[in-house]
Amino acid sequence: MKAWFGSIIVVTGLGLAIACSSPGAPMGETAAVTKSVPAAHDLEGTQWVLESLGGNNLVIDTSITMAFEGGRLTGFAGCNSYGGPYETPGGNSFAVMELSNTAQLCETPEGVMRQEETFLRALLNAREYQVAENRLELEGNNGEIELVFARLPEAVIDHLDLVGTGWRLLSLNGHSATGEPPTTIFFTDDTFNGNTVCRDYSGTYVASGGDIHFPFLEMMGSSEACSQTLLEQEGAYTTALEWVRNFRLEQGQLQLLTARSEVLTFTPFEEVTGRAPHEPPAMNIIVQSVDVSPGSRIVFSGESSVPDGSCLYTQLYMDGEIQDWWPADTCAQVQNGFWKIEVQLGVREAPLELSSQATFSLRVWSRDTPSIESEEFFFDLSGPTPSD
């Protein structure tokens, strides 16, 4: 569980200073103005994940990362993102004069906040570094190795490989995805869209090489009909997308890697549905039947591929004219792929009976996605008439 504080803590060699800031994106930072210092050749452009802190393993279900770029180091400290300038004055000397980090409180896993504080202090007190193959060691001012990192492999890929592809979520950090329709994501040139089982979503992404992040994500539709398990999965998935920083395409799968060392694993959408990877699932609304009971009620029912819990809206016509008494603002909620609307006759302004001399039709649409609309469904009191 996490709670936001409205500030960013700046850690320096002299103590703590508080800089005012409103809560923002996970990687938001307040950077101090410093002079430019050349970065170490063997550190610049590298990314690492912490393996041990003070000779101890990390708290279970936590991760700490660090990346070097442009004379700055940035990363995720277990609960908060952090960053600051670093120096390598000569030889194996290493110094971090100042760190800034977001001020979020994480209540779980137990011990994560204490671990984060220990890590930031150890990083601030680091005086020497050693890089050997895929291992980075930072030594403290006590002469002991305090931080040991493993190198994250560089991805040699082109972000354009994502354009026009579609994917189905297999797992989030090792936990299998559940629910039907599956959680999906589809990429165009600079936008994405998909479904989380509970709702549709869309947004924009920015990618270069193997780097990617999702600066804007919008949820669409209602999640009221979703189970608690699926809602928790949706929350974990969309939160992870906000933390994504890299991607890999390996062995026919897409992996999105977050700053928190989470891995979202996807398989091409066609493997499950038979559709091409770039083809989003077709959304439709079908009117299947009408039941008219004079003096009692009129009931329409049908199928739809819009997400369960979504609202569909209807409008009745008589000889092509809108019937004002029809409750066009009433939600016909989709449940397990089916929808139904029932209207009482002879109540309020509704007629007691429908004219036997007229031709009626019903139109059904989704307000969340206005382009999704049923074919007009025609009927008279002798029964439905196939539409053209």
Q: Is the model's pLDDT at 155 over the cut of 50?
A: yes
Q: Give the mean model confidence (pLDDT) for residues 154-168.
A: 79
Q: Give the mean model confidence (pLDDT) for residues 185-209.
A: 89
Q: Is the model's pLDDT at 23 over the cut of 50?
A: no
**Same domain, yes or no, for 342 and 208?**
no
On whether residue 278 sits in a domain, the answer given is no
Domain containing 301 — which CATH number?
2.60.40.10
Q: How confident is the model at residue 149 (pLDDT cuts 50, 70, 90)?
A: very high
The length of the chain, given as a count of residues: 388
The last residue of one of the domains, among 247, 273, 299, is: 273
Q: Tell me what percent of the residues of the chain surpass a pLDDT of 70.
A: 82
In 152-260, the DSSP E strands lie at: 166-172, 175-176, 184-187, 191-195, 200-208, 211-220, 244-250, 253-258
Q: How confident is the model at residue 321 (pLDDT cuts 50, 70, 90)?
A: very high
Sign of CA dihedral 193, 24, 77, 239: negative
**Same domain, yes or no, for 93 and 213?**
no
Domain containing 236 — which CATH number?
2.40.128.270
On whether residue 279 sits in a domain, the answer given is no
The last residue of one of the domains, among 119, 151, 183, is: 151
The last residue of one of the domains, among 273, 303, 337, is: 273
**Same domain, yes or no, for 55 and 113?**
yes
Phi, psi for 40 (deg, rounded to 5): -65, 135
- Domain count along the chain: 3
DSSP-assigned letters across all residues of 242-290: HHEEEEEEETTEEEEEETTS-EEEEEETHHHHSS-TT-PPPP-EEEEEE
Q: Give the mean model confidence (pLDDT) for residues 296-300.
A: 91
- Closest CA relative to residue 354, chosen from 313, 315, 312, 319: 319
**Same domain, yes or no, for 23 and 131?**
yes
On whether residue 143 sits in a domain, the answer given is yes
**Same domain, yes or no, for 300 and 356?**
yes
Amino acid 184: pLDDT: 93
**Same domain, yes or no, for 73 and 90?**
yes
**Which domain covers residue 116, as residue numbers?**
2-151
Full-model pTM: 0.50
Q: Give the mean model confidence (pLDDT) for residues 208-217.
A: 85
